[in-house]
Amino acid sequence: MDYLFEKVKENIYVLAVWDSEWKSYNNCYFIVNDEGVTLIDSGKKVHAIYLEKALNELGKSLEDVNLFLATHGHEDHVEGSAILKHAKKFLHSNDNDLLEQLDKMQFSNDLKANEVVQEFDYELVGYHTSGSVVFYHRPSKIIFTGDFLCFFGDPLSKEGLVSEGHDLRYEWAKYLRDGGVPKDHLESFLDGLKLINQFDNSVMCTGHGGVLVGDIQDFISELIKVGEVSKIK
C-alpha cells in the first residue's frame, strides 16, 4: 500500500495512506509535544499498521499517543484509533451512531474537556456528517477540516502533498461554481466556511489529499464569494 509521511510544520506531520478501495489518500495528523503525541483522525482499521510505522519514524510508539481527536465518525477517520490503548479519545456526540464497529465507550463527547481546549478551538460545522467538527490548533495556526473541506479522490497537487496547491484551489472553486455542493446544503456549507475563516489559519490540513499552506483565509474567502453567487443563480 502506498503512503506518504511528511512534515507540515515544526513537530506536526501528515500521514497520507492510499486507499485502493476508495481511490483516495486518507489523511491523519501527528502533533508531537513534550507530553506525548496528539493524533487527529486515524484512517481505517486496515491502515493502523501505518500509524505505528509513522510513530516509529518519529521515535515514538503507540503508547506515546495520549490524545485522539476525530473530525467526524466515518470509518476512515476513526477505525484505526482502536489500536490506541492509552489515548483519551474525543468525538462529537452527533456522530456516535456512526461507530458501528467500535466501542462507543472508548470515546468522550466532552469537547470542552481540558485535554482538548488547552491547545485547540473547535467548531461544529455539521456538513458531511451532523457531527463534523473542525479543529484549530492555536500554537501552530493550523486548521484541521476533516471531510468538511477536503480533496477526496483527487490527485495530489503537482506541487506536492504539502504545498500551496494552486491547482487544487482552482478545482475546488470550480467544483463549487459548477454546483458540486447541492443548493439545499449550500447555506450550511457557507456557514461552515465562515466559521473556519474566523481563525488565523496558516495551514489547512484536510481529511483526504493535499495539505494547503499559505493564504488560507484568502482561499476560504474566495469559496464564500463563489458560493454566495451560486445561491442566487
pLDDT in tens, 190-220: 999 999 999 999 999 999 999 999 999 999 9
For the entire predicted model, the pTM comes to 0.96
- Angle, helix 216-231 to helix 166-177, in steps of 10 degrees: 20
Report the number of distinct structural domains present in the chain. 1
Give the pLDDT confidence of 93-123 residue by residue, as tens digits: 999 999 876 777 899 999 999 999 999 999 9
Instruction: Report the pLDDT value the prediction gives residue 104, as an integer from 0 to 100.
Output: 77
Q: Look up the domain containing 56 and give its range.
A: 3-231
CATH number of the domain where residue 35 is located: 3.60.15.10
User: 10 Å Cβ neighbour count for 124?
Assistant: 15
